[in-house]
């Protein structure tokens, strides 16, 4: 039986996000026994990555009777209610209401922490660079202190491929040691430099306090379950396909993208919770998805929309207002993460198909 075509208006009964959650729970490469009878604390739990971790663990908890207790750290109760709905009625899910920039106080034990909270909108990075850096540093400091206090078994810090800046062009594949140049005079660097200092802070907590933190350097992550207010480039391309509108690029589109599907990312993060070396960074990327932005736009126009839309270029004199990241030519290596037994499964076309299927429900 073939998967329903992307732009078919008749959505299946089960969402692609739910399919992903069930596939994660049934994945034999993950040892869910490591999470049995533990408390798992997730920051940024109303974001795509944080909410996907919570929902996946809730399903696994119920399916396998793991006895887990999940804590979703959020700033907005209303947003949490929109994202989790009836799941909030479950006894194994607890909301922690607060801002990560404030000290975290929790009376019970915590065995695992996934720190996914971060500024993610490019426009915010440009308009509020101070807040972007403060959220990154102070939030990560507070999470590390919580892990230290609770003597957590595992902490995963979600970083970004943007820590690489502009690596040396001689690298065929960029590994975890190949950091490049970042222009610290650019306000957009508030995000990438914020991630770098947080990684340095993680290393400090490993060395000085033996906090078992692993660093996950994520490629651009999207897929089923994307949030309605997400307006990043891949969502804009998807909306163009859905509404039959041409894709308009405001740059030459020569920057090279590295991507990974949300299901594959969640599996990698859950694996890092209990596996990998503390203090080490791991690229999480599907190497087969590497391509230029203009190539991705062409894929959406030709493969996803069936040639019903085109790619057009309308390049203004200045793109600063858009908050775009600097042009980067970089192909990330996932060899280190694959060495732990992880393998990405979903290619770029499938990523769009599954995301759009849920967007149209």
Measure the CA–CA gap between 37 and 257, rounded to whole angstroms.
39
pLDDT at 10 (0 to 100): 52
Residue 252 lies in a domain: no
pTM score of the predicted model: 0.93
Residue 278 has pLDDT above 60, yes or no: yes
User: Residue 120: pLDDT band by 50, 70, 90 thresholds?
Assistant: confident
pLDDT at 324 (0 to 100): 62
The residue among 240, 202, 243, 225 whose CA lies nearest residue 361 is 225
Residue 168 lies in a domain: yes
In sign, the C-alpha dihedral spanning 264, 270, 276, 281 is: positive
In contact, 115 and 44? CB cutoff 8 Å: yes
Domain count, the chain: 1
| Percent of the chain at pLDDT exceeding 90 | 85
Residue 160 lies in a domain: yes
pLDDT at 3 (0 to 100): 38
Measure the CA–CA gap between 278 and 204, rounded to whole angstroms.
11
Question: DSSP state, 35?
Answer: G
Residue 200 lies in a domain: yes
Residue 317 lies in a domain: no
Helix crossing, 262-274 with 48-64: angle to 10°?
Answer: 70
Residue 245 lies in a domain: no
Average pLDDT in the 90-111 region?
97
Average pLDDT in the 336-359 region?
97
In contact, 112 and 70? CB cutoff 8 Å: no
In sign, the C-alpha dihedral spanning 298, 299, 302, 305 is: negative
Residue 32 lies in a domain: yes
User: Residue 123: pLDDT band by 50, 70, 90 thresholds?
Assistant: confident
In contact, 174 and 332? CB cutoff 8 Å: yes
Domain containing 134 equals 16-222+259-288+329-346
Three-state SS at 95: strand
Residue 277 has pLDDT above 80, yes or no: yes
Q: What is the CATH number of the domain that holds 130?
A: 3.40.50.720
Percentages helix, strand, coil for the chain (3-state, rounded to 5) are: 45, 15, 40
């Amino acid at each position: 039986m073939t998967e329903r075509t992307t732009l078919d208006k008749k959505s299946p009964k089960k969402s692609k996000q739910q399919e992903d959650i069930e596939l994660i729970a049934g994945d034999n490469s993950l040892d869910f026994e490591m999470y049995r009878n533990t408390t798992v604390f997730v920051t940024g739990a109303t974001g795509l990555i944080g909410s996907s971790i919570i929902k996946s663990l809730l399903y696994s908890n119920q399916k396998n009777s793991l006895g887990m207790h999940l804590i979703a750290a959020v700033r907005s109760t209303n947003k949490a209610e929109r994202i989790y709905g009836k799941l909030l009625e479950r006894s194994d899910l607890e909301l922690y209401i607060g801002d990560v920039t404030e000290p975290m106080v929790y009376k019970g034990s915590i065995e695992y922490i996934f720190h996914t909270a971060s500024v993610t909108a490019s426009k915010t990075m440009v308009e509020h660079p101070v807040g972007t850096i403060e959220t990154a540093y102070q939030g990560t400091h507070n999470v590390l202190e919580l892990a230290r206090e609770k003597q957590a078994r595992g902490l995963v810090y979600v970083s970004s491929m943007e820590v690489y800046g502009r690596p040396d062009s001689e690298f065929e594949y960029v590994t975890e040691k190949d950091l490049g140049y970042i222009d610290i005079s650019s306000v957009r660097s508030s995000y990438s430099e914020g991630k770098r200092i947080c990684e340095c802070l993680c290393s400090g907590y490993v060395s000085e306090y033996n906090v078992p933190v692993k660093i996950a350097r994520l490629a651009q992550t999207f897929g089923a379950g994307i949030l309605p207010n997400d307006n990043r480039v891949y969502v804009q391309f998807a909306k163009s396909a859905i509404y039959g509108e041409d894709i308009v690029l405001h740059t030459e589109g020569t920057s090279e993208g590295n991507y990974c599907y949300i299901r594959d990312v969640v599996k990698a993060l859950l694996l890092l919770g209990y596996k990998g070396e503390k203090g080490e960074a791991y690229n999480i990327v599907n190497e087969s998805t590497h391509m230029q932005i203009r190539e991705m736009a062409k894929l959406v126009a030709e493969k996803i929309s069936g040639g019903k839309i085109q790619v057009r270029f309308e390049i203004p004199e200045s793109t600063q207002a858009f908050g775009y990241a600097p042009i980067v030519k970089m192909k990330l290596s996932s060899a280190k993460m694959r060495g732990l037994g992880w393998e990405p499964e979903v290619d770029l076309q499938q990523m769009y198909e599954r995301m759009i299927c849920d967007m149209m429900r």
